[in-house]
Structure 1
Amino acid sequence: MLQLIRLELKKFSLGWYIRGALISNLAIAILTYFVIYIENKEGDLMFTMYEDVFDMIGGMVRATFIVFAAVLIAKMVIEEYRNKTILIMFSYPVNRKKIIASKLIIIAMLTFMTILLSNMIVAGSFFIINAYFSIVPFSVTPHQFWEETIKIIFFAAAAAGSSLIALYFGMRKYSVPATIGSSLLIVVIAYSSNPTFSMVTFIPLQLGLAAIGVLIAYSAIRNVEREDL
């Protein structure tokens, strides 16, 4: 399995993914500063605790990289089925289930790690800058930061699971637009927010979507031997 994962990583250059992640981190950081600055200037006081900042950053990061995961699914799975290039891999003396599993493991792990690192980078940079410019009227201690990191790990794992839901829609007709479009729908459902209630930290929904994504991935792996290309 590890050898298959290494071959997949070598086959699909991820330079675009790394560049996209860095640009996204910068964009999320700038948007965070801009939103909080505007809210403070208008006196709305929506960000009264450090948890509010972490929640906003976490929601934007997870939403962004669920869409990135859909692009990975499209490139690594859907396009190979649509172009029938996956027949070449299926002709090797390797179990088909392991081939598909290796692709989905890469997608889920990349999504998890990118969400985790992006949260820490954006939130860390925000509170470092806040220490000098007082963007918000509070600071965060190292202990509080590590407490939030535990939550970030949990939500990153849930997002990695829910990102696999797009696989179901893409595999129906081997459609790249359906794959990416379904990820946008997931983002709208799972990361909507209003002043009275936020889906971003609603644990039952996040766990439910993660479970659905894992079941879809399991079904795709289990049924790959019976699929007619």
Structure 2
Amino acid sequence: MLKLIKLELERNHVRTYVTPSIIIALSMLGILYLFAYLPQLEPDDKDMQLFIGYNNLIPLFAVLNMAAFCVLSAVMYSKFIIDDYSGKRPLLLFSYPVSRKKIFLSKLSVVSIFTILSLIISDVLIFTIFGVTERFIPLVNEPFTVAFMLLALKTTIVMAFISASIGIIAVAIGFNKKSVPTTIVSAVLLGSLMCNILVNATLNIGTLYLIALIVIIVGILSSINLMQKVHSMEVE
């Protein structure tokens, strides 16, 4: 399996997706500063209460970042799975003296691991930078403590798995028509829907975990369904 994963890394040039990840991280860092500054623009606006304090800022930021990485995940899945299993391209994959399921799992593993690690690393760097600048030019009316950093890390890990799972669900939808646009649009719609759900759930950690568990289970079932389709498919 490790050899197959290494082969996928070489074939699909995973490094090309590092740049979009960095762009997302820089954009999200700017959005975090904007969120923190918003209450100062309209201090009497009740709607601005949503952005006051780290207990509000961290979940809001995490949900938005999750949605961004959902789309990146869908783009990668489109390249790794939709493109490779369309037209005559499966001829090359099916000519390998390796189980179709193992090849598919290697593709799934590369994208899922990349999505999860990229989101976690970007969030850790973002909150580290934000925490350091808060010590010199504070925008939030409370110190950024270790407890808040742990909250950010915990929320980030949950969102990382949700993001990877939504990417799998989106590619499962797009795979039926072998359509890249369908995959990406599905990721955008699912990510937006999940944002609306999670914004109300993030303040309740138990509800957040339950939603994450449901999404992950759906993602696993989607993976199994895709694997069965790949195993039984014939070259067009």
TM over 0.5: yes
Distance 1:30 1:188, change over 3 A: same
Corresponding position of 1:220: 226
What amino acid is the match of 2:21?
A: A
**Contact 2:134–2:144 (Cα < 8 Å) also in 1:** no
**Alpha-carbon distance between aligned partners in 2 of 1:39 and 1:143, rounded to the nearest angstrom:** 23
1:147 to partner: Cα distance: 4.1
Distance apart, 1:157 and its partner CA: 2.0
Q: Does 1:136 align with 2:159?
A: no
In structure 2, the residue matched to 1:31 is 31
Deviation at 1:151, TM superposition (A): 3.2
TM-score (ref. length: structure 1): 0.91
Name the SS for the 2:30 alignment partner. helix
Distance 1:35 1:53, change over 3 A: closer
State whether residues 159 and 210 of structure 1, in contact with CA within 8 Å, keep that contact through their aligned partners in structure 2.
no
1:89 to 90, 93, 105: 93
Cα displacement (A) at 1:199: 4.9
Map of 1:151-166 to 2, 5 A cutoff?
A: 151-166=155-170
Q: Give 1:213 deviation, angstroms.
A: 1.2
After TM superposition, give the deviation of residue 141 of structure 1 in Å: 1.6
> Quick check: 10-19 or 64-73, which moved more?
10-19
- The alpha carbon displacement at 1:193 in A equals 6.7
Give the distance between the partners of 1:158 and 1:209, measured in 2 at CA.
6
Alignment correspondent of 2:125: 121
Mapped partners of 1:177, 1:41: distance in 2: 39
Say yes or no: does 1:179 pair with 2:183: yes
Q: Which moved more, 1:67-76 or 1:35-44?
A: 35-44
For normalisation by structure 2, the TM-score amounts to 0.88
Q: State, as a whole percentage, how many aligned pairs show the same letter.
A: 26
Runs of 4+ in 1 over 4 A off after TM superposition: 199-202
Tell me the distance in 2 between the aligned counterparts of 1:162 and 1:193. Answer: 14
Any idea what the Cα deviations from partners look like across 1:189-213, whole Å, max 9, x if unmatched?
101279xx62556523332222111
Q: Is the 8 A contact 2:59 2:202 kept in 1?
A: yes
1:198 matches 2:204: no
* 2:234 partner SS: coil
- 1:162 touches 1:214 (CA, 8 Å); kept in 2? no
Whichever residue aligns with residue 149 of structure 1, its letter is L
Q: Which segments of 5 or more consecutive residues in structure 2 lack a partner in the other structure?
A: none
RMSD: 1.9
In the other structure, the counterpart of 1:40 is 40
* 1:65 counterpart (51, 65, 69): 69
Q: In the alignment, which residue of structure 1 is the partner of 2:8?
A: 8
* 8 Å contact from structure 1 (residues 69, 163) kept in 2: yes
Q: Which residue of 2 is the match for residue 150 of structure 1? A: 154
The separation in 1 between residues aligned to 2:189 and 2:152, in whole angstroms, is: 27
Moved more, 180-189 or 12-21: 12-21
Q: How far apart, in 2, do the equivalents of 1:158 and 1:23 lie?
A: 21
Equivalenced residues, count: 227
| Aligned partner letter, 1:124 | T
Instruction: Check whether the contact 1:191–1:200 (CA below 8 A) recurs between aligned residues.
Output: no
AA of the residue aligned to 1:13: H
Give the stretch that moved more between structures: 174-183 or 49-58: 49-58
